[in-house]
């Protein structure tokens, strides 16, 4: 009986000593490959399927990286707000720990990642467990989950 009581106490301590964080981002969470960018004004598009531009989504951060044009840092970090209809990216920081992860002040550096504004609001046109399509004022972004 004494061993059983110690066992129950041990299990209770295990579950109370850990905080389990979960994400309610649904299918948005994961590692996404940007495979195509459509320019809405002209109807043109760029096939990026052979490039290595990725967005990683986890908890409350998005890390966007262009591995083909990385300049010694690991892309950009964004806070985001998400619901089933929209995704807002804001508060962009260059992911460069040695420099203190500086705040991005020029949206131009984000354009290879499909991001045109420092505070960019996308309509979620499609989101499944393997495909995502986002649209802002100027671009439509097509992703495949890795």
CATH of the domain at 50: 2.40.128.280
User: With bands split at pLDDT 50, 70 and 90, how would you rate the model's confidence at 14?
Assistant: very low
Phi, psi of 56 (to 5 degrees): -105, 125
22 falls within a domain: no
123 falls within a domain: yes
Give this prediction's pTM.
0.83
Extract the tokens encoding 71. Answer: 């300049």
Instruction: Report the greatest alpha carbon distance in the chain.
Output: 76
12 falls within a domain: no
Cα separation, 70 vs 52, in Å, equals: 10
13 falls within a domain: no
Q: Structural domain tally of the chain?
A: 1
Mean pLDDT for 96-117 is: 94
134 falls within a domain: yes
3 falls within a domain: no
Phi, psi of 5 (to 5 degrees): -65, -40
Written in H, E and C, the secondary structure of the chain is CHHHHHHHHHHHHHHHHCCCCCCCCHHHCEEEEEEEEEECCCCCEEECCCCCEEEEEECCEEEEEECCCCCCCCCEEEEEEECCCEEEEEEEEECCHHHCCCECCCHHHHHHHCCCCCCEEEEEEEECCCEEEEECCCEEEEEEEC
Cβ 75 vs Cβ 53: under 8 Å: no
Residue 23: per-residue pLDDT: 76
Residue whose entry in the numeric block shows the structure tokens 């354009």: 111
Handedness of CA 86, 93, 116, 139 (dihedral sign): negative
Residue whose entry in the numeric block shows the structure tokens 């295990």: 14
More confident residue, 139 or 17: 139
Cα separation, 37 vs 66, in Å, equals: 14
4 falls within a domain: no
Mean pLDDT for 13-41 is: 81
Tens digit of each residue's pLDDT (9 = 90 or more) over 37-85: 999 999 999 999 999 999 999 999 999 999 998 666 689 999 999 998 9
Tens digit of each residue's pLDDT (9 = 90 or more) over 84-94: 899 999 999 99
Q: Output the average pLDDT for the chain.
A: 88
Residue 97: per-residue pLDDT: 87
Residue 21: per-residue pLDDT: 63
Q: Which domain holds residue 111?
A: 28-145
């Amino acid at each position: 009986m004494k061993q059983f009581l110690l066992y129950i106490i041990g299990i209770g301590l295990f579950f109370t000593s850990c905080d389990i964080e979960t994400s309610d981002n649904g299918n948005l969470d994961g590692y996404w490959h940007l495979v195509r960018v459509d320019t809405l004004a002209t109807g043109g598009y760029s096939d990026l399927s052979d490039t290595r531009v990725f967005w990683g989504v986890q908890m409350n951060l998005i890390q966007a990286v262009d591995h083909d044009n990385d300049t010694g840092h690991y892309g950009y970090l964004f806070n985001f707000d998400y619901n089933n209809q929209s995704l807002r990216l804001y508060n962009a920081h260059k992911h460069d720990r040695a420099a203190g992860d500086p705040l991005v002040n020029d949206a131009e550096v984000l354009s290879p990642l499909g991001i045109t504004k420092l505070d960019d609001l996308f309509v979620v046109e499609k989101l499944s467990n393997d495909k995502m399509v986002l649209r802002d004022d100027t671009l439509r972004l097509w992703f495949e989950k890795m």
